[in-house]
Amino acid sequence: MSVAILRQGDYLVASIQSDLTDSEVVALRYELAELVGRQRARGIVIDVTALDVIDSFVARSLRAIVLTVALRGAVTVVAGIQPDVAIAMVQFRLNLEPLRAALDLDAAIALLDRLTRGDAVDGG
């Protein structure tokens, strides 16, 4: 399976296991949108450690997830962007504004804890 989505407390953690096809990325978008609503998650972590390439399509999709999920009152953190991938994304000049990033899953959970503290949810 290419993406494993698990629940961790109030959060959903989507772990991408390998390079995804565009269809799998789209499927992930819809699944997360649905699950956040159904499970009333307060935050989601998308773990992209296994992605060697994050191109414009993946970046657009990540942005879309952030915005969609925010409409359901949850916060998104992307975890595990690799150094070379970060360089490529930045050199490409992808628009990454609403993306919150953390080094890894642990840091992402810690960040979500801070962001959702006291039920005050940051809009972005």
Partner 1 sequence: MEDEIRIPIEADEDLVTARAEARAMAERLGFPRPDPTLIATAISEVARNIVVHVGKGEIVLRPLQEADRYGLVVIARDRGPGIRNVEAALRDAYSGRGGLGLGLPGARRLMDDFEIESAADTGTTVTMRKWRFRDELARLREERRRLA
Partner 2 sequence: MTDHPKTEEERMDEEPDRSEEAGSLLQELVAYLRDNRTELREEWARRISEAELLDVMSDEEIFSEATAVYDNYVDALETGSIETLQTYARELSERIIPRGVETHEVLGIVLLLRDVLARSLFAKYQNDAELLNRILDSYEPAANRIAVTVGVSFVEERERVIHEQQETLRELSTPVLQLRDRLLILPIIGILDSARARQLTEQLLGAIRDNRATVVVIDITGVATIDRTVANHLVQTVEASRLMGASTILTGLSSEIAQTLVDLDVDLGMMKTVGDLQGGLEEAERLAGYRGPDPAGDVES
Binding site for partner 2 (CB under 8 A): 78-79, 81, 83, 86-87, 89-91, 96, 99-104, 107-108, 111, 114-115, 122
Separation of first and last alpha carbons in the chain: 30
Burial (CB count within 10 angstroms: exposed 0-12, middle 13-18, buried 19+), residue 78: buried
User: Is residue 55 part of the contact set for partner 1 (CB under 8 A)?
Assistant: yes
Query: Binding to partner 1 by residue 1, rule CB under 8 A?
Result: no
Cα 58 to Cα 7, 40, 99, 110, distances in angstroms? 23, 25, 12, 24
For partner 2, give the closer residue by CB, 5 or 59.
Answer: 59
- Report what 115 binds from partner 1, partner 2, none; CB cut-off 5-8 Å by kind: partner 2
Contact 62, 39 (CB under 8 A): no
Piece of 4-12, 21-29, 30-38, 112-120 that binds partner 1 (CB under 8 A): 21-29
